[in-house]
Amino acid sequence: MVLEETKVASNDTFDPGALEEILNEYGGVEGAIIPILQRTQAAYGYLPEEALNVISERTGFSLAQIYGVATFYSQFYLQRRGRHIVNICDGTACHVKGAPRLVTTLEEELGIKAGETTPDYRVTVEVVYCLGSCALAPMAVIDGHVVGRLVPEKIQKLVRELE
């Protein structure tokens, strides 16, 4: 099961090169705002504010319209995320089998709260609710790969191994 497409994290400085290619490709294609945003996010790992300004200028969509689309669809991220995404399931089955301990372990290991990204953009930890693999509870999805029957020591080891 793959829940997250592979994303390339951006550098701190916005490099407009990739966006230019995307906009050239979709130039003149009416209503192409969603594919433009999808491609932009694939290139930068999220939707940088600078990119949204350029997209607005070049497509004629207002910033309000673009933010409206970006916030309506859960696939879009307006904040930079980590190079690695850890989704810990805290649905009912995972919860009763120890998911809260996994979350606490990661929060202590990484020095962040669930929902946050480490300051070096290495890891983002998110809590999700039932990913349909309850037989593997407690489980997580790390960079799109399902890992089941977790214990705190195991999730800690897996996260330490992320580059």
Residues that bind ligand FES (CB under 6 A): 89, 91-94, 130-134, 137, 139
Task: Output 66 or 127, the one with its CB closest to ligand FES.
Answer: 127
CB within 8 Å of 72: residues ≥ 6 apart? none
- Token code pair at residue 104: 């606490």
- Position 119: which residue type? P
Cβ-contact 94, 146 below 8 angstroms: no
Report which residue's Cβ sits closest to ligand FES: 91
CB of 69: closest distance to ligand FES in angstroms? 30
Task: Output 94 or 123, the one with its CB closest to ligand FES.
Answer: 94
CB within 8 Å of 70: residues ≥ 6 apart? 37, 47, 52, 76, 78
Task: Output 47 or 88, the one with its CB closest to ligand FES.
Answer: 88
Task: Output 48 or 138, the one with its CB closest to ligand FES.
Answer: 138
CB of 77: closest distance to ligand FES in angstroms? 23
Beta 123-128 vs 145-147: how paired, if at all? unpaired
CB of 89: closest distance to ligand FES in angstroms? 3
CB of 64: closest distance to ligand FES in angstroms? 37
CA 4/CA 85 separation, integer angstroms: 8
